[in-house]
Structure 1
Amino acid sequence: MEKICWANTDNFDDSKFVVVGIPDESQSHALRQGTQEAPFTIRKISNERDSYERDGKKILGRPNDGAQKKVYDMGNITRGEIDDVYDKISSSSKIPISIGGDHSITRQIINAMSNRLGKFSLVYFDAHPDFVSSTTNYYGSVVNDVLLNIKTESSVQIGIRTPELEELANIKKHNLQIVTPFDISEIGIKEIASSILDKLGENVYVSFDMDCIDPAYAPGVSVPVPMGLSSVDAAYILKKIAKRGIVGMDVMEVCPSFDVKDRTSHLASRLISEVIYSAGEK
């Protein structure tokens, strides 16, 4: 199977970052189906558009300042393998970068990793709060389903613009900070990013639903919502958080069958690269 172009080692033990594909959308209720194809498509497009060959050498389509950060692509796993795989990654002090699949996968990843690392500060990029509590264990209840393993007082949701009344009540009940696209327009990206960094605790996990970005930049998602983040603003915040330090990240809800010229898959690949190259920089 094709590996993501950012992978630069075939040795798990040598790596700092571990790319894991989870091609599963069994807990999605979306009218648009096809997120299970995302791990394959994002890897394919990353090789077609983010790298090329010159004189028999692979050249990455951005400055290769991350060459010393070893990235291992372990391929795809099933939902049933999540607990064992992420326990192995966490116990090895490596940073997983997961590609879904529907957003409910995040619940299983966080709950598996927290067994070894404890509670996380969660940065949750999404158009939707995913904070339904009347129904659980699906892509709309992720935040509710990980409450025992996150610190809501040091967590934040970014890009929210279509909450249900039930979700608004849960956000208020748990005092969860929300950053909307309108907040970024009014306050400014630099100040917003700074306030987010000030909020976060020690162990930070980033979950990135591609529908947080405006459909103009990311049309190929399962539940698109107008008036979202720009791709540059999203990348700016991601880079700042990665530079501060993360324990893991996922990219969810890319829906290749509804994409336009693979724009969303390409953007997902580039966001992954920005996180890898920014992580831990001083």
Structure 2
Amino acid sequence: MLIETSQPFKPVNFQDAPRFRAKAELSHSGSTFKPVNFQDAPRFAGVRTFMRLPHTRAIEQIDFAIVGVPFDGGASYRTGQRHAPEAIRSMSVLMREYNPALDIPIFEYCQGIDYGDVAVLPGYIEDTYTRTTNELAPLVKAGVTPFVLGGDHSISLPVLRAIAAKHGPVALVHFDSHNDTEDNYAGKLYYHGTPFRRAVEEKLVDVQRSIQVGIRGSVCAKSELDDAKTLGFQVLPMTEIREQGLSVVIQAIRERVGTSKLFISFDIDAIDPAYAPGTGTPEVGGFSSWEALSLVRGLHGLPLIGADLVEVIPAFDPAAITALLAATIVYEWISLLALSKKRS
């Protein structure tokens, strides 16, 4: 698929965009916004975009956009999440246009693009926040659903800022092994353990319609677990989930969200490291790949207005199984969007 451009034919300077960021400032050639078929060109050929969608920043007449935020300056243990958008895109070429689990031919009902990556500023979290919010704002304002590829979990805060600027406080469904509601890290307000406390303080989420799913693992003090509940979140730890079963959990999520506009934040460490080893702060005892997909599919019909997938680290990901799972989860979100448009 050809893309027209008036840009000069020379490399992008790394001071304008980090080397690990895919730069996309091209206009669309007029073709439909759907993937290249693997029978027309093999999956291993061409520039890597999500599902081989057009790589463009033309947002007219599209329903969703894949946006990378390759930032890991908020990570407190392993780093390398900056390389996740590239890895997830690479594995997404295996995704096809018809989703049999949800019985939806995706691109008969919605169109999408790969918008490229935010021009993050490595080492400067607040500047990266500003850039992320500013780059997402035109998409959200135009009614485009952003599906964001992190990055560490700190990037959820600027994404929610862009979402809430249009929609107001949203229902948050947060899949994670950690609450990410700490107050600070060594006195600093912003890192991947604080985004949802900041989001509550900034009134970006409606905590009475928000829920955290999959919480587990050791903590420094019980107060860390109580903080999320004190803020107003409903919390479903893995111990309860194992006792209740997925169907009860899905129903609890649906009842909590109700008819509110929904944002999903999915930390890949919600998955057991046996299935998703490529992450920054792994915790044993999590969801299997199948359970994760079942949970996401169970959200069909809810008013999804955006989502992010965070904390994939390719360097710790043998055989790219974590990146493949991440790409599949994003694919399921796109399928949910298509299903909603079909029903409406």
TM-score with structure 1 length normalisation? 0.90
Query: In the alignment, is residue 4 of structure 1 matched against residue 61 of structure 2?
Result: no
- Counterpart in the other structure of 1:110: 160
Among candidates 29, 33, 42, match of residue 79 of structure 2: 33
SS in 1 for 2:50: coil
SS in 2 for 1:97: strand
Q: Which moved more, 1:114-123 or 1:240-249?
A: 240-249
Q: Percent identity?
A: 27
- Counterpart in the other structure of 1:233: 291
Shift of 1:7: 2.6
- The separation in 1 between residues aligned to 2:148 and 2:236, in whole angstroms, is 23
Greater RCO (CA < 8 Å, at least 6 residues apart): 1
SS in 2 for 1:119: coil
Per-residue CA deviations over 1:114-148 (Å, capped at 9, x if unaligned) read 11210011111111101101442110011111002
- Counterpart in the other structure of 2:269: 211
Shift of 1:242: 4.4
Shift of 1:112: 2.3
- The separation in 2 between residues aligned to 1:156 and 1:117, in whole angstroms, is 18
Per-residue CA deviations over 1:86-117 (Å, capped at 9, x if unaligned) read 21111111110000111000011102221121
Shift of 1:6: 5.9
Question: After the TM superposition, which residues 251-270 of structure 1 pair with which residues of structure 2 at under 5 Å, given as runs?
Answer: 251-270=309-328
CA distance 1:75–1:278, shift in 2 (3 Å): same
**8 Å contact from structure 1 (residues 242, 275) kept in 2:** no
CA distance 1:203–1:225, shift in 2 (3 Å): same
**8 Å contact from structure 1 (residues 23, 38) kept in 2:** yes
Amino acid across the alignment from 2:144: K
- The separation in 2 between residues aligned to 1:255 and 1:242, in whole angstroms, is 28
Per-residue CA deviations over 1:56-108 (Å, capped at 9, x if unaligned) read xxx65855711222111011112342122221111111110000111000011
- The separation in 2 between residues aligned to 1:158 and 1:239, in whole angstroms, is 15
Q: Which moved more, 1:194-203 or 1:35-44?
A: 194-203
Among candidates 215, 236, 245, match of residue 160 of structure 1: 215
**8 Å contact from structure 1 (residues 9, 70) kept in 2:** no
- The separation in 1 between residues aligned to 2:326 and 2:140, in whole angstroms, is 23
Amino acid across the alignment from 1:149: L
Unaligned 5+ segments in structure 1 are 52-58
Amino acid across the alignment from 1:19: I
Shift of 1:9: 8.0
Among candidates 88, 102, 125, match of residue 175 of structure 2: 125
Unaligned 5+ segments in structure 2 are 1-46, 121-127
- The separation in 1 between residues aligned to 2:267 and 2:324, in whole angstroms, is 15
Among candidates 166, 177, 184, match of residue 241 of structure 2: 184
- Counterpart in the other structure of 1:65: 105
TM-score with structure 2 length normalisation? 0.74
- Counterpart in the other structure of 2:116: 75
CA distance 1:154–1:164, shift in 2 (3 Å): farther
- Counterpart in the other structure of 1:172: 229
SS in 2 for 1:149: coil
Detail structure 1 runs of 4+ shifted over 4 Å in the superposition.
Answer: 8-11, 59-64
CA distance 1:238–1:246, shift in 2 (3 Å): same
SS in 1 for 2:301: helix
Aligned-residue CA RMSD (Å): 1.9
Amino acid across the alignment from 2:161: N
- Counterpart in the other structure of 2:136: 86
Q: Which moved more, 1:106-115 or 1:233-242?
A: 233-242
Amino acid across the alignment from 1:161: R
**8 Å contact from structure 1 (residues 17, 96) kept in 2:** yes
- The separation in 2 between residues aligned to 1:174 and 1:107, in whole angstroms, is 16
Among candidates 231, 239, 243, match of residue 301 of structure 2: 243
Structure with max Cα Rg: 2
- The separation in 1 between residues aligned to 2:257 and 2:99, in whole angstroms, is 29
**8 Å contact from structure 1 (residues 6, 273) kept in 2:** no
Query: In the alignment, is residue 19 of structure 1 matched against residue 66 of structure 2?
Result: yes
Shift of 1:8: 6.0
Per-residue CA deviations over 1:177-236 (Å, capped at 9, x if unaligned) read 111223222111112101110111411110000000001110101111100012222211
